[in-house]
Amino acid sequence: MVSDLIDRTNMTWKVDLVKESFSPSEAEEILCIPLSMFSQNVSLVWSGEHSGIYSVRSWYRMLLPDSVIANSDKALFKKIWQVDCPTKMNIQCWKFLKNLVPTKLNLCTRIVTTDPTCFRCLQSPENVAHVLRNCPFADQVWARVGIHSPTIDEQSSFSEWLSKLLSNISNNKSTEVLITIWALWTAQNKFIFEGEQKNPTDIVTSIKSYSLDLRLVSDCLTASNPRACIRWLAPADPFVKVNFDVGFRQHEKSATIGVIIRNMEGQILGASSLLAYHIPSTFAAEAQAAICGLRLAADMGFRQIEVEGDSRAVVTKLQSDSDDPSDIGALISEAKGQTRRFQECRFLFRHRSRNRVAHALAALRRSLDTDLVWIEEAPVEIETLAAEDRRWLDPP
């Protein structure tokens, strides 16, 4: 019986018994199923969506073998989307990686044209790698921009080359790479369709001036109102505020958890830095962290609390009045059960820039030997961050 595997007093899995009774991989899967002290209706859960509700989109995604998107490509796509530049450039770069652009070779494949040769050098077939890397024209542009093309076999794919190029350069340089790619493609099209013949120096001048403008705009945007960006918001009187955050390691199925409780003056009332195992996902980690925050606040005797996290999906579930049908439903139900220990409890979502102290407490756990809880104090690096938060508070 499944119930024989559960310790009903603490509502936890009997870890040793589960490990004895199942293979290591099955045991890990079982131990990752969250349990709750608070009863939940038995229901079917669709694990393909965070909402727990079936959708055709998620079914299709589950049918695709992992090999359809190799891990290296996933990492590269992620990097491309993180580059700070106009979105049209991120999108265009993604299209190059997916080969969704009308190069002459692609047009030949679709029988739109019969000659795949590059208009510019008249030497090789025009594919993505040629226009953006191998064409002598592109080569001169990269050299003058001052970005050294990584040494890689000429036959290697465009994505392998780009991945290597972006792996070891600063954020500003990554922006310049995407601007250069954009400029090379635009120049090739203007050459073909408008007969515009710019030399590499002209193109490099416009790349340099564009990236400088972009940096200036970005600096102005972040500097003009730093207060609005990073401000921790104090709880309303007489509430105390509980901030929680996590660091999740997928391969270990482990999560570090940081919790900080402060009053309306921003003074630290309690803090904890914990490590949890058998955590299946980052959502489960966030929900577990909310529970830890609620438990600490209740154990310390607070009656009115605001619980604040930076995972919109999890906070939305915590705010909802209805049962959560997803695979973290048991954790959501446990967190909601814990709220009965308070006179008043509100859940709030805030951007992670307002949640830095909890984030630092979660990160801190990796350098500690054991779980720690502090009352009315915290380690010096945490005190420093909390003091910065206090500086932004409105004067009373």
Site residues (vs Zn ion, CB under 5 A)? 118, 120-121, 135
From residue 278, give the alpha-carbon distance in Å to each of 36, 44, 288, 295, 358. 15, 22, 11, 19, 21
Question: In terms of CB distance, is 120 or 317 closer to Zn ion?
Answer: 120
Q: Is 231 helix (H, G, I), strand (E, B) or coil?
A: coil
Tell me how far, at minimum, the Cβ of 93 lies from Zn ion, in Å. 20
Task: Return phi, psi of residue 59, to 5°.
Answer: -65, -45
Toward Zn ion, which CB reaches closer, 118 or 318? 118
| Residue 103 vs 163, nearer CB to Zn ion | 103
Residue that the structure tokens 């007489």 belong to: 238
Phi, psi of 352 (to 5 degrees): -65, -20
Element (H, E) at 262: strand 254-262
Minimal distance, residue 158 CB to Zn ion, in Å: 14
Q: What does the DSSP assignment read for 17-32?
A: HHHHHS-HHHHHHHHT
Q: How far is the CB of 186 from Zn ion (least distance, A)?
A: 15
Please, which residue, 133 or 241, has the CB nearer to Zn ion?
Answer: 133
Nearest CA to 217 among 229, 209, 205? 209
Smallest distance, Zn ion to C-beta of residue 117, A = 8
Nearer to Zn ion, 185 or 232 (CB): 185
The minimum distance between CB 110 and Zn ion, in angstroms, equals 20
> Under a CB-based contact definition with an 8 Å cutoff, are residues 341 and 317 in contact?
no
Please give the Cα distance from 116 to 189 (Å, whole number): 15
Can you tell me whether residue 242 is helix, strand or coil? Answer: strand
Instruction: Give me the least distance between CB of 135 and Zn ion, in Å please.
Output: 3
Report the residue number, 117 or 218, with the smaller CB distance to Zn ion. 117
Sorted by sequence, the CB contacts under 8 Å of residue 320 that are 6+ apart come out as none
